[in-house]
Amino acid sequence: MEQRQPALQENLAFHPYNIMLFLLLFGLTLLFLALTISYVYIRVTMDVEPVQLPGLFLFNTLILLGSSYTMIRAKQAYLNDDTGAYQRNLKYTIWLSLVFMAMQTIAWWWLFKINHTALASSTTAAFLYVLSFAHLAHVVAGLPFLINFYRAALSRMVDPVTVLVYFSDPEKRLKLRLLTVYWHFLDILWIYLVAFLGVNYLF
């Protein structure tokens, strides 16, 4: 059994899911890097005023940090065979993600109604909307996978035998790890965007 474990780990390391996630994250990194570089270029060449960052963007950073924390807790619970903590932290992550989506909608409403910053009001305003919407779109894209994990945990972990089967599934462990990496990436990406837009507003 011990001799088969390294081979299994090696196969999982080069699993197509790993490669697909790497390509996805690489592509997203290039996309947002290109958008932020374009933002700086337009500001410098056209002397466009920056847009004030809504305070809710900072609050949303805390929400995303909380969702990353609950994902870490869910992964730890999975590795420790803790059914209750695993299901609970997956549920917390889903709710925090939904709160993030709601707060983002309120932040856009504040920009549009209170601050009178429409999408077409300036180039920098358009970039702010595009950057934040593109990030939210990828949170929405990851949410169905998270919900599927939670539903599977509820439906398949009903007795000691099914719990043992669930926790001993190497592919399930791999998918959970990849989903956790994706969630942390979205968290880091949001922190980068908020810091970038905040610094541009100050300077």
In this predicted structure, what is the pLDDT of residue 8? 44
Using an 8 Å Cβ cutoff, are 139 and 101 in contact? yes
CATH number for the domain harbouring residue 114: 1.20.120.80
Residue 33 has pLDDT above 90, yes or no: yes
Amino acid in position 21:
L
Amino acid in position 25:
L
Question: What average pLDDT is seen over the chain?
Answer: 87
For Cα atoms 73, 83, 152, give the angle at the middle one, nearest 5 degrees: 95
In this predicted structure, what is the pLDDT of residue 162? 84
In this predicted structure, what is the pLDDT of residue 82? 93
| pLDDT tens per residue, range 102-114 | 999 999 988 887 6
Torsion sign over Cα 79, 82, 85, 87: positive
Amino acid in position 30:
L
Enter the pTM of the model. Answer: 0.87
In this predicted structure, what is the pLDDT of residue 120? 65
Split into its structural domains, the chain has a count of 1
Residue 3 has pLDDT above 70, yes or no: no
Domain region containing 181: 4-202
Of 17, 65, 23, give the one whose Cα is nearest residue 179: 17
